[in-house]
A and B are shown apart, each in its own frame.
Chain A
């Protein structure tokens, strides 16, 4: 399938926005897992995925995220689109500091900056390679 430049750009944007969904899903699942307790069995976990709202919506959001990802992957290169998913690490780290009051420190800030730089290089590379 031949994809136009506009379709490729839209795909990259879609993956980028998708990572926000993925991060929100992870935060919901993490807060729901707290209600489950550290020693929950597989069965308790499976029941919890339906009865604990944060877990239910977390996994539902993950489903939506997967659909977005598949739609995005229709166009453009996998080797460009897939590493963009690393942005999820950035959003989860920021959201964990805000929601769970996890410590924000120099190492995390450096990590966030380097990952965003890497994703930016990816976006630029896609264009310059396609002359």
Chain B
């Protein structure tokens, strides 16, 4: 029993004086669980039950279809490009913000948060306005026969924009909390800028990067709004998984829609598991 509880409390009550009475605790926990169940578990269960409603064979057939495969492929390619790009940008931006002082720093931080505050539909519209036929670069692109909007590059660009803040927002507070001391020590000892970055800065932010990448990936694969505006919904060519789900649903092909949606649900579950493992490892590291 801690020393603190001996002051002013009777031994009988022990720690209970500092927490809510049992009834309130149970009530709050129940409300939280109800909320969780209603908004998370029930929809998840609905997706899987609808997907397997007509049996496993129909489920597999829906996923095994050509358009499904191309949408899976496109989603994977988009994530495979967007996440590394954002990783590089995010690390560089966080490094600049956390380790240096320069005019306009606060503006940069605000700009990094911009994709969060903008509606995903607008995020997609931005690219139409810039790269579309009537856009700023429209005539130039047409003249050189380069397709950006309604094609894969546009999808990737829109995804990069929307998922940009995840890694930066994870790293900036982490790096600011770590301060500049270690980097200064490295420089005084004779390390070059690159040596300092790779041998001192990077290992310290390892878990922040992993966490940021997990979140960035989850959003990159699941993004709907921005990609929907930019993609053109050309079946088999510019449909990502989320868009494909929408198409199937609009054709009243519910089982197939839910079957494909279950893939995204699996992704969400895997993301959750990996996230929990990483958090556990971080806590272990902190405790050392």
Do A and B truly interact? no
